[in-house]
Chains A and B, each alone.
Chain A
Amino acid sequence: SQKIEQNSEALNIQEGKTATLTCNYTNYSPAYLQWYRQDPGRGPVFLLLIRENEKEKRKERLKVTFDTTLKQSLFHITASQPADSATYLCALEVGGNQFYFGTGTSLTVIP
């Protein structure tokens, strides 16, 4: 069965540093992978999508990489701010608009 692992459940970093979150998967070759942000009591919010033929995607302070050989995606937030504190989820498209989500990494940016 599909298994999606995100690095440590919680990640604390100092403001201004780069946060790097990891998403590893097995048993599937997704056409694309997404990253979402979820704040307490709210639904996830879409951040970035990267396709299997793309190595890297950027949006403002966010950067996503996708290595289909390693079956891994890295999500970077540069110049992190306390407002970036949230849970970040990766999601794999497994066909037909069906998605499997990782359990998430809770990021805390310390002022």
Chain B
Amino acid sequence: KAGVTQTPRYLIKTRGQQVTLSCSPISGHRSVSWYQQTPGQGLQFLFEYFSETQRNKGNFPGRFSGRQFSNSRSEMNVSTLELGDSALYLCASSFPGGDEQYFGPGTRLTVT
């Protein structure tokens, strides 16, 4: 069974631009969560989607948004990029009612 995939794996953007990251969950998983990981703050929860609905949202500004499609694939968007947005963005999927999260390899975003 294929794991969680994220594209692209690496991205370099300039301050002020916007970016869209993609996550394809494991087949059958309907919950997708997004996290930001930085050396100083660790893994921080961004939001979680289930059946195309955002169920939970972390403490991030409105520049961070996401969506989920009917096939459970998810995208997150960051607008007006700031230097501090440089991080590893991870998505994780889980079965309905499942407790384990399966993480993708992440997208390394660098903002210059």
Contact = CB atoms under 8 A, between A and B. Distances in A.
Interface of A: 32, 34, 36, 41-46, 49, 89, 91, 93, 96-104
Closest 5 CB pairs of A and B: A43-B103, A103-B42, A101-B43, A98-B56, A46-B100
Contacts of A49: 99-100
Interface string B53-66: 00110100000000
**Chain B binding site: helix, strand, loop or mixed by DSSP?**
strand
**Chain A binding site: helix, strand, loop or mixed by DSSP?**
strand
B103 A104 contact: no
Given A96-B55, A97-B31, A97-B50, A45 B103 contact: yes
B51 to A, nearest CB: 12
Contacts of B99: 32, 34, 49, 93
B48 interface: yes
Q: How large is the interface on B (under 10, 10 to 19, 20 to 34, 35 or more residues)?
A: 20 to 34
Contact of B101 (A41, A46, A102, A104): A46
10 contacts: A36-B103, A41-B105, A42-B105, A43-B4, A43-B90, A43-B106, A45-B103, A97-B31, A101-B44, A103-B42
B72 interface: no
Contacts of B56: 96-98
A102 B37 CA distance: 11
A2 to B, nearest CB: 10
Nearest to B104: A43
